[in-house]
Amino acid sequence: MTPADFEYLASILKDRSGLSIGPDKTYLLESRLTPVARKNNLDDLDALVAEVRRSKKEAMLCEITEAMTTNESFFFRDATPFEIFEKAILPDLLEARASRKSLRIWSAACSTGQEAYSLSMILREMAPQLAGWRIEIVGTDISNEVLEKAKVGIYSQFEVQRGLPIQLLMKYFTQVNELWQIDASIRAMVTYKEFNLLKDLKALGSFDIIFCRNVLIYFDQPTKTKVLDAMSNILASDGCLFMGAAETVLGISDDFKPVPGHRGVYNTAQKADKSAIAPTASLAAAG
């Protein structure tokens, strides 16, 4: 692949998804886009680039973007954020929302649905406490392919073995030959939508909790700032943003501040200054 072809593909990905890649990721382009070329009856990546330059077909541009932005996910990934969600953040929000009895959660860049369903199972385990509540979980991704898998909720043995406690597997999944399907009751708790994080986030409505984990690491700093600033505008003043352990808002956005003791958890700057959510001792140690 010529440097010019690489830059052309990189610019497509940046403009369409926010994904920022350097020349050191040439191997990644080749491994993920060669199957796209073959699917379109093109000999190789060079032929794919030539065809895109010539035709600029939207379907092909979508295929390229989806192939490059599809990232892995697994149930209860990294464990600690879900423990913090359940034991520290959620109780405060439930108390604050006791009069209206509603809660909205966003799983951004949800991939094949494991994060959203992990949250669903946590909430389903609290069913007696949440009787009469309206709980809405919204999972979004730029890729229709992964969203279709998420909606069906069928996973391989390998996928359910990654982070999913055996008791939850037995309780909420049904084995279908060599595969496992999550119960319809859990699937019904999540609404999946195709959505690009570079678009106007206000179209999604407001949220009490946002999970945007291991996503922004693929963006350049101006794009990170843009997305975080937009998220601050749709997050409740006492809500929380969960990011990946290797991610931070420091030096990127002034709209969020870390929640003390909870690594990877942030709330809006005005809320952080009031220190409304205090970490429990056990979770502070874990975070």
Among 28, 43, 69, identify where a domain stops: 69
Domain end position, chosen among 40, 69, 98: 69
Give the C-alpha distances (Å, rounded to integers) separating 212 from 45, 115, 132, 136, 218. Answer: 32, 10, 28, 16, 12
3-class DSSP state for residue 140? strand
Other beta carbons within 10 angstroms of residue 20's beta carbon come to: 17
Q: What is the pLDDT of residue 140?
A: 97
pLDDT of residue 70: 64
Per the CB < 8 A criterion, the answer to whether 269 and 255 are in contact is: yes
What per-residue confidence (pLDDT) applies to 55?
87
Instruction: Supply the pLDDT for residue 73.
Output: 86
Q: Are residues 30 and 101 in the same domain?
A: no
208 and 156 together in one domain = yes
154 and 241 inside one domain:
yes
Judging by DSSP bridges, how do beta strands 207-211 and 102-107 pair with one another? parallel
For residue 278, being part of any structural domain is answered with: yes
In a domain, 74, yes or no: no
Predicted local confidence at residue 270, as pLDDT: 64
69: phi then psi, degrees, rounded to nearest 5: -105, 0
Specify whether 263 is located in the same domain as 164.
yes
Statement to judge: residues 13 and 103 lie in one domain: no
Is 59 contained in some domain? yes
Say which residue the tokens 């179209």 belong to: 203
Q: Are residues 241 and 139 in the same domain?
A: yes
Residue 16 maps to which CATH number?
1.10.155.10
Q: 10-residue block means of pLDDT along the chain (287 residues)?
A: 86 83 81 86 88 86 80 88 95 94 96 96 95 96 92 95 94 95 97 95 97 90 94 95 89 91 87 42 32
Same domain, 15 and 124: no
Strand 179-182 to strand 173-176: parallel, antiparallel, or no bridges (unpaired)? Answer: antiparallel
What's the pLDDT tens digit per position in 36-47?
A: 888 888 888 888
Query: Do 28 and 61 lie in a common domain?
Result: yes
Flag whether 249 is in a domain. yes
Count, residues in the chain? 287
How many domains does the chain divide into? 2
The pLDDT assigned to 280 comes to 35
Are residues 65 and 96 both part of a single domain? no
Per-residue confidence (pLDDT) for residue 11, from 0 to 100? 87
Q: What range does the domain containing 29 cover?
A: 3-69
The reply to whether 177 falls in a domain is yes
Residue 104 and residue 200 in one domain: yes
* 180-193 pLDDT per residue, tens: 999 999 999 999 99
Residue 103 pLDDT: 96
233 in the same domain as 259: yes
Neighbours of 43 (CB within 10 A): 10
Q: What is the largest CA-CA distance in the chain?
A: 61
Q: Is residue 50 in a domain? A: yes
In the chain the beta strands, taken as DSSP E runs, fall at 102-107, 134-141, 154-156, 173-176, 179-182, 190-194, 207-211, 235-242, 256-258, 265-268
Residues 243, 223: Cα–Cα separation, whole Å:
16
